[in-house]
Structure 1
Amino acid sequence: MTSSDEQGPVPVTGVKDRVYRSPAGFAGGVLLLGLVGWLGVDAIVAGEGRTPWLALATLILLVPLVTAFTLRPAVFAGDDRLRVRNPFRVVVLPWGQVASLRSAYSNEVVAESGQKFQLWSIPVSLRARKRAARQQDRLAADQAAEREGRPRRRRGGFGGPAGFGGGLSSHGGPDVPEGPARAESDKAMDELRNLWEARQKEESAQGEVTVRWAWEIVGPAAAGALLLAILLAVG
């Protein structure tokens, strides 16, 4: 399974809105649902006594929660508004109501009213940021070496030092990509900021912020938790 810092949120093209999801979160959710479903169905079919009922209640509780935190989160960026689908809420912010898009230890959008909403589908990876910073430092060192007429530093084929995996020098090796290196989540936030700055003053991008609870997630999860509590209390 790809780790979140190896592959960040990617925009899904071909639709009207840009859609940002976490590929690692989605893949992890599919695997978790498969595991939970397999164990739960096996307990329901082969279990004895109260076991099938406990397994059923656990499934009703876990399936919505796993879906909420892995498959559900997404950010939809259109010409007029930003729609944030988090685990338990859906927030719609017209671009005119967005005060800022912040990136620190988490990515979040701040409304003009001061409300803050975390962007669950665009997680921050500190490892990816450090790796991008190291890449940027290497690029700066290579550019300085070129200006001074010195050869670029050789690197290993697997990102290690020369001599491991067949290092390539600047001659005959792949060129270092131009431009500042950025983590994937930071690139996604840059795209959202650019869209916000371009559209925030448009008449069609004005309106009110709306927040809706995801009852399709909260309802089944609450029912499963209640059923499980009753079964455990009855003994």
Structure 2
Amino acid sequence: MGFGERYHRTLEEVAACARKAGRDPREVRVVAVSKTVGIDEIETAVAAGAHDFGENRPDALAEKRGHLPEQTWHFIGNIQSRRIPDIVRDAALVHSLYQERHVHRFEAAAAAAGKVQDVLLEVNVSGEHSKSGLAPADVARMLIACEPCDHVRVRGLMTMAPQGDLAAARACFEELARLRDEVRRGLEPGRAALFDELSMGMSEDWREGVAAGATIVRIGRALFDDAFENGSHSD
């Protein structure tokens, strides 16, 4: 099965999951996580209709965006301070901001680039020590840190669920959605309208993400790797 068939099958299933949850399928964006593939595979994906791609390393992001600048590129990896200007140059949306010390670096880099950088706050909903992210109780403080920045726009929240337990993943995603809604209620209307994204769900658990309200699912191996069909489930 090639990328195109996997991609369109996934889109159909995303739409079905959204409708089952009483949602408009157009509310859910599929980001094809392309970190393990090269330019040729991404060009094949573009030809099949994919236009949002996720990368976790600044160098790969720069290379691939350089070849395909008309596509929408997401940065989904760990943020290193010294690479923030590179990330800002190439990313339409950064999914993984959680350290307050990085906020003003993003502000400075985005101002220098003449853009407003859209970001998501990464939240460690599950509390696992192996995962990075803000504690849910610290999200409000982080938003206060971002508020003075004219070139950083917080669009919502991102999380990763515990692997291997779909019920736990669903609970994790539902908690992130509850937190997003709670935060929105405390924002003035203009900011609340923009604080609408929930990036949650990967190849193994995106269905739970859509059911819980995800607006972005990050799917890699289920789209690009035949081995996923035979039991490989990590993006």
Q: Which TM-score bucket, shorter chain as reference?
A: under 0.3
Could you state the TM-score of these two structures normalised by the residue count of structure 1? 0.21
Could you state the TM-score of these two structures normalised by the residue count of structure 2? 0.21
Give 1 or 2 for the bigger CA radius of gyration: 1
**Greater RCO (Cα-Cα under 8 Å, separation 6 or more):** 1
